[in-house]
């Protein structure tokens, strides 16, 4: 289970959207790619603007995921999060701390998801011709922090 206590309302909305998208695609397990799609679908947070600015629209991401299943309505019960998705959400707190924020916003979630090294997310970004660093730079620029590599000792 993930901890949503420090999440903004928009980030909590992303969690709900990710769970819905997982079910629509025929699974009761949220994967990082569902979170990436949810960040785009949320529509008004920093992450949605970052993804849109990089042409990673909800439609573009959707086109790279399995289509919704007709039997999705049959999926009921608790939804779980796979380890990669949980770890990415946990990493969002690290990203928030790096930015001196005391909350987890969509900007922290998108940073964590694209830096998670999850194969499906990296594949989606690659197919959209977007590097994780481009997403990070866009977040930092939108927040007025300048270039991401200046704040990340591991950036090249």
**What's the confidence (pLDDT) of residue 156?**
44
80 in a domain, yes or no? yes
What does the block give as tokens for 22? 């997982």
- Cα(154)–Cα(84) distance, integer angstroms: 20
- Cα(78)–Cα(84) distance, integer angstroms: 18
30 in a domain, yes or no? yes
For the chain, what is the domain count? 1
What interhelical angle do 119-127 and 132-142 show, nearest 10?
Answer: 80
What confidence tens digit (pLDDT) does each residue in 6-41 have?
A: 899 999 999 999 999 998 888 888 999 999 999 999
Looking at per-residue pLDDT, the higher value among 154 and 94 belongs to: 94
155 in a domain, yes or no? no
156 in a domain, yes or no? no
Full DSSP string of 101-141: -SSB-HHHHHHHHHTS--HHHHHHHHHTT--HHHHHHHHHH
pLDDT above 80: residue 69: no
**What's the confidence (pLDDT) of residue 107?**
93
Q: What mean pLDDT is reported for the chain?
A: 86
With vertex at residue 39, the alpha carbon angle to CA 34 and CA 43, rounded to the nearest 5 degrees, is: 135
1 in a domain, yes or no? no
Helix or strand or coil: residue 40?
A: helix
20 in a domain, yes or no? yes
**Range(s) of the domain holding residue 60:** 9-150
* In contact, 140 and 151? CB cutoff 8 Å: yes
pLDDT above 60: residue 73: no
pTM score of the predicted model: 0.87
With vertex at residue 37, the alpha carbon angle to CA 30 and CA 148, rounded to the nearest 5 degrees, is: 110
What's the residue count for the chain? 156
CATH number, domain at 109?
A: 1.10.1780.10
3 in a domain, yes or no? no
121 in a domain, yes or no? yes
Helix (H) or strand (E) holding 30: strand 29-30
């Amino acid at each position: 289970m993930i901890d949503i206590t420090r999440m903004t309302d928009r980030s909590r909305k992303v969690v709900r959207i990710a769970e819905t998208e997982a079910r629509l695609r025929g699974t009761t397990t949220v994967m990082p790619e569902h979170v990436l799609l949810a960040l785009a679908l949320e529509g008004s947070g920093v992450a949605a603007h970052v993804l849109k600015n990089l042409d990673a629209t909800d439609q573009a991401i959707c086109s790279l995921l399995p289509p919704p299943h007709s039997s999705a309505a049959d999926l009921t019960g608790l939804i779980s999060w796979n380890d990669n998705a949980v770890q990415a959400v946990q990493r969002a707190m690290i990203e928030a701390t790096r930015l001196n924020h005391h909350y987890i916003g969509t900007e922290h979630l998108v940073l964590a998801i694209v830096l998670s090294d999850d194969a499906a997310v990296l594949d989606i970004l690659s197919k959209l011709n977007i590097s994780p660093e481009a997403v990070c730079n866009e977040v930092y620029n939108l927040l007025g922090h300048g270039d991401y590599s200046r704040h990340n000792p591991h950036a090249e």
